Structure formats: C-alpha cells, structure tokens
Amino acid sequence: MAIELKVPEVGESITEVMIGVWKKNVGDAVSADDVIVEIESDKATVELPAPSNGVITKIVKQAGEQAVVGEVIGYLDAVSASQSAPSATPAVPAPSQPQSVDVRHRVGSTVIGSVQPASGTGPVMPAAARMLGEAGVSSQSISGSGPGQRVTKADAISAVSASTQPSSPAPIVTNASKEQRLPMEGTTEIATSSAVRSERPVLMSPMRRRIAERLVEAQHNAALLTTFNEVDMSAVMELRKKFKDNFIDRHGVKLGFMSFFVRAAVEALHAVPQVNAEFRDPHIVYRDFCDIGIAVGGGKGLVVPVLRNAEQMNFAQIEQSIGDFARRAAENKVKLEELQGGTFTISNGGVYGSMLSTPIINPPQSGILGLHTIQERPVALNGQVVVRPMMYVALSYDHRIVDGREAVTFLKRIKEMIEDPTRLMLEC
C-alpha cells in the first residue's frame, strides 16, 4: 500500500517551508516513527516521521526545494508489522491513486543524515555531505570508495582539494608589470598573481530569511531610538561569588547574570509600563504581565524563546529555563509555541565580546534591552578614581509609545537594581 508523505502543519500562519535533509533514501526500509526528512520553517525545524513500517519508493522534493503545507514530498510503500521490509529495493514510481495518511511531526535536531545519491553513486555520508556543501562541490561527479560506493569523508576531502586546483595551467596575460591568470570557463574563480578568490552561493534558510524580514519590518514600521547607561557590576559579581556553590547544590544550576537582569527588567517594566506595551493603531495596549524573550544563538540562527510570566519566576526558575532554552536551541529543538509572543526582549551581546550596540526591537514589542561585555574601567566614586567592572546597557524603544523620559527612567531603574541587588529581593 502506497502512502503519501505530506508536509505537516508546522505552525499558525506558516504556509511555505523548505525541505531539509532527507534522513532516508529511495529504497531504504523504515520502521514506524523513524525520522524520514527534516522540514524547515521560518521559526523551527520539524522532523517528519514514518507513519508505518515500509520502504521509501520515491522522493518528490529534494533538499533545498520549497514546498507548501499539505504538499506531497515523497512516497512510502507500507508493509504490515508481520512482514519483513527489504533492506533496499529499486526506486519505483508511485501508484496513480496512493492513499493519503496524516503524518505526525515533532521538533527536530540538526544532525545531518546521508543525502539522496546521484545516479551511479552510492549514498553520501553525513560528514561528507557537510564538507561538500560548505565547499559548494556537487556530489554527482564523485565516485564513492566506501561499501556500496558510499561517498566517505575521505572522498569529500579529495574532491574539495581537486576543486581548488585547476586541471591544467591557465593562460597568462601580462599587463605592464602585473601578471593575471584568466579563470577557466565555467568557474567563478578570479585568480591573481597573489591569491585565488572564489564565491560560494548558499541558499538562505527560512529562519534566516524570516529574521531578515522582521528586522527590516522593525526599521520601517517603528520609530526606533536607543538610549544608554552604564552599570557597576561589583555588587552582583560579589553576590554570585558568595553564593554560587550553595546555589548549585540547591538548584542544580549556576547563578548567572541573566537572572538578575530579568528580575530587574520585571521591576523596571512595572515602573514604566509603556516599555511593556504594544502599539495597535489607534490604541496602545498595556499589559500587567511580563513575557520576556531571551535571545539565544541557535543551530540555524538567532531564536528568542519566551519566559512566560517572568514576574512570577524566582532566580532558580529563570536560570533553569534559560539553560534549557540554550541547550535545545543549539539542537533546534525549541518548540514553536515557545518562540511566539513576548512583550519585551533581552539580548546579551556581551557573551560574544560586544562592548556597545543598538539592538533592534522584535515587533510588535516596544522595547529591547541590550547587555554588553563587562570591562574594568576607571570611574569616579566619592571623589576618587577607582577601577570597577562596568557594563554598558542599551534600551532600544519605539518612540511612538515610549518617550525619552520613560526610556531613561527605565534604564536608571535597571542600573539601581543591579548596583544594589538587595532591592531585587525586597522589590523596592
């Protein structure tokens, strides 16, 4: 019995996706719930599992191609549990009237599986596929040296090395005192007397494309402005040093800086509700809850999972949630619903060494707090010059809702809370 493999629903308002890595090839036997292919949307990566035992008979959409929700991307020839599926069968065309089966999905990982082999070659192994993709070298012309003509990593290394060296000397054209080699026909390399320069186009992922669209949208549809302040981190660093061991023993997670800033942001949002509001023309919508997005670097781009009702979370809950988000973001396993919504965002560029930046708000939010690296700097304190660990903080905001006074007040409140963290405990 032939089963259509269709693109599942991947989230509200998402209609188009990109086909990711096929984990199974034509002729491969699969068991129920085996992952067949990864499907990438602009928010998350979804895995398509096999609905039953069977054999992959046809792949309609290759990796990198676009598809819409509900579109057939492949066929599976199902077998009953009592039958033993063959390890490999030749590719056959799908029947004219296949049976349609709804396929479940779950959030996937970024582990790259073998790719669909070209005619006359064996499967391309994961490490080889990654190397060939990064180098922009096609696998179609490579003869695999592994079992069953599998293309191994060693084959990929040889192919990439060969692609960077011309098969025959290029003609030399002398112009005055400078020599320049002309590129071979059909290549994109421009060779000079000192080096070889090349270009490698890489298809933009749906997530990267969506990030670009939203950043441009924020610039076009909001009146963005950024204000700055600096924070003395001495008190927080001393507090972390004093209680770090007890905190780990009791809660099983490290006490980081982010939990202090989340708690400080909650207090500042309560003090300046405009920063937590949303512009819905002709209204401004104020909120009595704080859903704070935490920007983390994911496996395929920046993602912003949301701490729901952060005003009700303590330090341990915040640190545990952020740690869990970071681990799952690296594996592209953050759930779609965890990325939606949010009333305010915190972005910590300091972990990458950023000293100062102007973050862009995540629409339709009205504010984003940017944190930066901590550096020891001389500052004036009580009439004396002392060295303190200082951090620049930045608030980008929508000037349609937030005036300069409110923005400065918000950052001043953050500064007060961090420089005297006992106020966070007393909520004053």
Q: Can you tell me the distance from the alpha carbon of 299 to that of 309, in angstroms, rounded to the nearest whole number?
A: 26
324 labelled catalytic = no
CA torsion 372→376→380→384, rounded to 10°? 160
Buried b (16+ CB within 10 A) or exposed e, 91-109: eeebeeebeeeebeeebbe
Residue ranges of the alpha helices (H) in 180-277? 206-221, 234-251, 257-271
Cα atoms in the 13 Å half-sphere on the side-chain side of 51: 19
Among 362, 424, 349, residue whose Cα is nearest residue 215: 362
Q: Please name the residue that has the structure tokens 């961090």.
A: 418
- Active-site hit among 245, 251, 281, 399: 399
Euclidean distance between CA atoms 131 and 11, whole angstroms = 32
For residue 399, indicate whether it is catalytic: yes
Are the beta carbons of 334 and 327 closer than 8 angstroms?
no
Catalytic annotation, pick one of 33, 232, 291, 403? 403
Residue 142, CA distances (Å) to 23, 129, 145, 163, 325 in order: 20, 12, 9, 11, 40
Catalytic residues: 399, 403
